[in-house]
Structure 1
Amino acid sequence: MTAVDASGTRSGDVALSCRAVERAVCDVWGDVFGVEVSPYDDFYELGGDSMTIIDVVDELSRRGVRVRSSVALRHHTPARLAESLTVHADRAPVPVPPTGDVRPRSWAEVRRRPTVVAPDGAGAALVLLHSDTHPQREREAAPAWRAGRPVVGIPAPGADGPLPAGADLADIARHHVSAVLAARPHGPYPLVGFGLSAVVAFEVAGQLRRAGHEVPVLVMVEPPAAGPASGFASSTADLLALRYAALGRRFALSGSESPEEVLSRVREEGWYDVDTSPTDLSRLQLAWADLALAVRGYEPDPHAGRVVLCLDEANAPTAGGYWSALVTDPVVHLFDYGVESPAPVIGDARLAALVRAELAR
């Protein structure tokens, strides 16, 4: 059994992924407390203390996960502890594979992104601007949000092919606006954006409003800050290197895996669409780098419409302050998962309830 210690070092031939560590922690806590444990259950709320943690650490070590008691007490949900041992660990970067970068010369050559429309329902359609990593989760969650309305889904930039070199965020948003208007020629347009696409949604909302369309509400789920405050590197090569390093830590990749093996691991955490093929993976990472670079270069104008920010507390200090300063009367909802993955927020019943409430305004 491979071991992962609190500094992120590894022993053995194969490292444990974030999901594998999370499962091990859930199993050990379940045995110690005699209950079924989810990734977001709290150690202290289950009755844990500084004595209980000794048994937990010993049992985790027997299962191949080495962690100091102080670290386990500080990261007191299975999801937080797993991320601390994998996603935030200091490991050798995974080699960046060739991306097969064949870019269109202009936006005229970019295929119009297909829209996913749920035509049943009444009222203005809820428009989802999907993230690059969790579109399937977002579509599965949408029935709980839509309050009887139709739903239009816009895939993330680059989901169906590379973007033109040097594409800026305003260009990307214009392409999205065209897709929205093609699917629903008449508004109003309530928008929900996820991750990097939440930043695109901010610009889409501005462009729609400037064109005379009504955007009653923009819900931004886990957006990063834009501009230099985003923390993104300033070149595609650097962004790809950071991206593959992050993927290597989260999914315990060494760089020697086949595309099929990589896809199998990322799909375990619900990443990407069901029809994503192994050959799509390098292109999708390039698309992420393109969008991250566009977000870094974006200088948003203030937004006078209603904006609801949904942020995990781990990301709130930077992103929350940044976007709140650009909005006349921001509404901020914080979630307490304390992890980088947006998956728990996407599936949270509180998010569904607040989107329904916004649509009912």
Structure 2
Amino acid sequence: MCAVFTEVLEAERIGMDDNFFERGGNSLLATRLATRLSAELGEPVPVVWLFSAPTPAGLVTQLELTRSGRGRVDAAAAFDVLLPLRPGGGKAPLFCLHPVGGVAWSFAGLAAHIDPQRPIYGLQSPALNSAEPLPDSIEDWARRYVAEIRAVQPEGPYHLLGWSLGGVLAHAVAIQLQDEGQHVATLAMMDSPRTESVAETTVPLADLLGGLLGEQAAEADTELGLAELAERIAELPEPFASFGAERLGRVLDAGTRSLELLARYRPRRYKGNLVYFTAALDDPTGATGAASWSDAVDGTVHNHAVTATHWRMTTESALARIGHVLTAAWADTDRA
């Protein structure tokens, strides 16, 4: 187990208690690790296990439970609305809201760059595990996420980070938490330009799969049909294979619906500052993204350039930059 961890992470040594994501792992490397472990052990090792048991010791325990019939392989858990990416720790959690494709797996790489005592949770689209329609508005969608967040952390301070569509949702969540008398300590966005007019009625597949494929989304074959795309993804280990044509169809429909909701959304003003991360290779000055939020917050928009394109905002180097900025901001808050 440790040898495969070491190989995939290209590390000198990995111990039984070393956390995969804290040692530089991400969702794509997790896929590679699951594939290698499955081949070495001759039995399936679902990649979803890495979210709840990200150490060699944890995976050994899960394997022993499964072999004895006392454990259950639940690959579908990777599509839950609330996804624990690093549940342990004594500090207030960071809640990460998904891009338009609805998947929050790529945020797991943040574990290598923020305090190990700060839990990390992903918020994912309800369309991933349910055929129910999306909420009727951004506000209703945010209300669903507020309930999920407060089920884990009933009282503030709250820390929110959204990527792309997730930034808009994070803003709506922050306002609703404030309406409920809660303290929002951090509202942060990763390249989430706000627009009140949507010219396109469909979302490219590369965009929809951005949270799933991360840095490879830009190279995704957008000419593939739904059946071909499902077949391609089915070749990957769980939970990727669980996407299937039906779930992918829901993701496509949800992406189109998201554009309609964004076009109608008129945000109220958030009481506080905004930490904004600009994909500098797409928007060098932040004029498109960060500036678009100036009238939706009553504090300051702190713009931080990240040397990446929009769909490469969860690469190792980009997350290192984001984690560094957030850590510095939290240190200032703690001193205050």
Q: TM-score range by the shorter chain?
A: 0.5 to 0.7
Residues 119-130 of structure 1: pairs in structure 2 closer than 5 A: 119-130=87-98
Per-residue CA deviations over 1:315-361 (Å, capped at 9, x if unaligned) read 43222221123222111011233455433388431111011122222
Q: In the superposition, relative to structure 1, how do residues 211 and 189 fare at CA in structure 2: closer, same or farther (>3 Å)? A: same
1:155 and 2:121 aligned: no
Please give the alpha-carbon distance, in whole angstroms, between the structure 2 residues aligned to 1:128 and 1:245: 20
After superposition, the C-alpha distances for 1:175-221 in whole angstroms (9 at most, x for unaligned) are: 00011111211221111111101110000000001110110111111
- Greater Cα offset, 197-206 or 321-330: 321-330
Q: Mind listing any 5+ residue stretches in structure 1 that lack a counterpart?
A: 1-110
Match of 1:210 in 2: 179
Q: Does 1:359 align with 2:330?
A: yes
Corresponding residue for 1:195?
164
Match of 1:113 in 2: 81
Larger Rg belongs to: 1
Matched residue SS, 1:285: helix
Match of 2:184, SS state, is: coil
Moved more, 145-154 or 206-215: 145-154
1:277 aligns with 2:247: no
Letter in 2 for 1:189: Y
Percent identity, please. Answer: 23
Check 1:113–1:252 CA distance in 2 against 1; reply closer, same or farther (3 A cut).
closer
Change (3 A) 1:115 1:287: same
Describe the superposition over 1:253-272 as per-residue Cα deviations: whole angstroms up to 9, x where unpaired: 2438524334269x79xxx9
Distance 1:277 1:209, change over 3 A: same
Contact 2:82 2:121 in 1 (8 A): no
1:11 corresponding residue in structure 2: none
Q: Indicate whether 1:286 and 2:286 are aligned.
A: no
- Partners of 1:333 and 1:215 in 2: how far apart? 20
- Are 1:253 and 1:262, in contact at CA under 8 Å, matched by a contact in 2? no
Q: 1:295 aligns with which of 231, 238, 262?
A: 262
SS in 1 for 2:193: coil
Question: Is residue 2:137 matched to residue 1:168?
Answer: yes
Whether 1:251 and 2:218 are equivalent positions in the alignment is: no
Q: Which of 291, 309, 317 is the matching residue for 1:321?
A: 291
- Other-structure match for 2:68: none
Q: Which runs of 5+ in 2 are unaligned?
A: 1-78, 209-217
Aligned partner of 1:95 in structure 2 is none
Distance 1:326 1:358, change over 3 A: same
The letter for the 1-side match of 2:164 is G
Q: Please, which of 301, 321, 326 is the counterpart of residue 330 of structure 1?
A: 301
Contact 1:221 1:309 in 2 (8 A): yes
Kept in 1, the 8 Å contact 2:190–2:278? The answer is: yes
Offset, 1:130: 2.5
Q: Which amino acid aligns with 2:289?
A: A
Cα distance change of structure 1 residues 353 and 244 upon mapping to structure 2, 3 Å threshold: closer
For the 8 Å contact 2:126–2:134, the answer to whether it is kept is no
Deviations along 1:218-252, whole A, 9 cap, x unmatched?
11111131321xx354xxxx32xx53597898415
Pick closer, same or farther for the CA change 1:299–1:157 going to 2, 3 Å. Answer: farther
Letter matched to residue 156 of structure 1: S
Judged with a 3 Å threshold, the aligned counterparts in structure 2 of structure 1 residues 165 and 212 are, in CA distance, closer, same or farther, namely closer
Contact residue 99 and residue 164 of structure 2 kept, 8 A: yes
**What is the SS of the residue equivalent to 2:276?**
strand
**Which residue in 2 is equivalent to 1:350?**
321
In the alignment of these two chains, the number of paired residues is 239
More contact order relative to length (CA 8 Å, sep ≥ 6): 1
CA RMSD of aligned residues (A): 3.2
Instruction: Give the partner amino acid of 1:113.
Output: V
Distance 1:341 1:208 in 2: 30
Amino acid at match of 1:251: D
